[in-house]
Amino acid sequence: MAKIKTDLLVIGAGSGGLSLAAGAVQMGADVVLLEGNRMGGDCLNFGCVPSKALIASANAAHGQANTARLGVANAVPQADYQAVMAHVADVIAQIAPVDSQERFEQLGVRVIREFGQFISPTEVRAGEHVITARRIVIATGSAPLVPPIRGIETVPHLTNETLFDLREKPEHLLIIGGGPIGVEMAQAHRRLGCDVTIIEAAHALGRDDPELSAIVLDTLRDEGVEIVEDAKVASIRGGAGAIVVETKGGHIFNGSHLLVAAGRKANIDRLNLEAAGIEATSSGVRVDERLRSTNRRVYAIGDVAGDMQFTHVAGYHANVVIRSILFALPSRGKNAHLPHVTYTDPELAQIGMTEVQAREQHGDKLTIACFDYDENDRAIATRQTSGFIKVMVVRGRPVGVSIVGAQAGEAIGLWALALANGLKMSQIAAMVAPYPTLGEINKRAAGAYFSPRLFDNPMIKRVVRAIQYWVP
Residue 381 burial class via C-beta count within 10 angstroms: exposed 0-12, middle 13-18, buried 19 and up: exposed
The amino acid present at 165, given as its one-letter code, is D
Question: What CATH number was assigned to the domain covering residues 2-39+100-144+265-327?
Answer: 3.50.50.60
Q: 409 a known binding residue?
A: no
Residue 379 has what pLDDT? 98
From start to end of 233-384, where are the E strands? Answer: 233-239, 242-247, 252-255, 257-260, 264-266, 280-281, 284-285, 298-300, 340-342, 347-352, 366-372
pLDDT per residue of the chain (472 residues) written in tens, 0 to 9: 899 999 999 999 999 999 999 999 999 999 999 999 999 999 999 999 999 999 999 999 999 999 999 999 999 999 999 999 999 999 999 999 999 999 999 999 999 999 999 999 999 999 999 999 999 999 999 999 999 999 999 999 999 999 999 999 999 999 999 999 999 999 999 999 999 999 999 999 999 999 999 999 999 999 999 999 999 999 999 999 999 999 999 999 999 999 999 999 999 999 999 999 999 999 999 999 999 999 999 999 999 998 888 999 999 999 999 999 999 888 898 889 999 999 999 999 999 999 999 999 999 999 999 999 999 999 999 999 999 999 999 999 999 999 999 999 999 999 999 999 999 999 999 999 999 999 999 999 999 999 777 667 777 777 777 777 787 7
Alpha-carbon distance 386 to 374, whole Å?
Answer: 7
The amino acid present at 118, given as its one-letter code, is F
Residue 1 has what pLDDT? 80
Residue 361 has what pLDDT? 97
Residue 48 burial class via C-beta count within 10 angstroms: exposed 0-12, middle 13-18, buried 19 and up: middle
**Residue spans per domain, the chain:** 2-39+100-144+265-327, 163-262, 340-455
User: For residue 315, what are the CA distances in angstroms to 14, 144, 216, 318?
Assistant: 10, 20, 28, 5
Q: 224 a known binding residue?
A: no
Q: 179 a known binding residue?
A: yes
Q: 400 a known binding residue?
A: no
pTM for the full predicted model: 0.94
Q: 288 a known binding residue?
A: no
Under a CB-based contact definition with an 8 Å cutoff, are residues 319 and 299 in contact?
no
Q: 183 a known binding residue?
A: yes
CATH class of 163-262: alpha beta
Q: 396 a known binding residue?
A: no
- φ/ψ of 471, rounded to 5, equals -90, 120
- φ/ψ of 67, rounded to 5, equals -100, -10
Q: 227 a known binding residue?
A: no
Q: How many residues does the chain have?
A: 472
Decide whether 2-39+100-144+265-327 matches 163-262 in CATH topology. yes
pLDDT digits (tens, 9 = 90+) for 173-230: 999 999 999 999 999 999 999 999 999 999 999 999 999 999 999 999 999 999 999 9
Q: 263 a known binding residue?
A: yes
Q: 236 a known binding residue?
A: no
User: Which CATH superfamily groups domain 340-455?
Assistant: FAD/NAD-linked reductase, C-terminal dimerisation domain (3.30.390.30)
Q: 142 a known binding residue?
A: yes
Q: 40 a known binding residue?
A: no
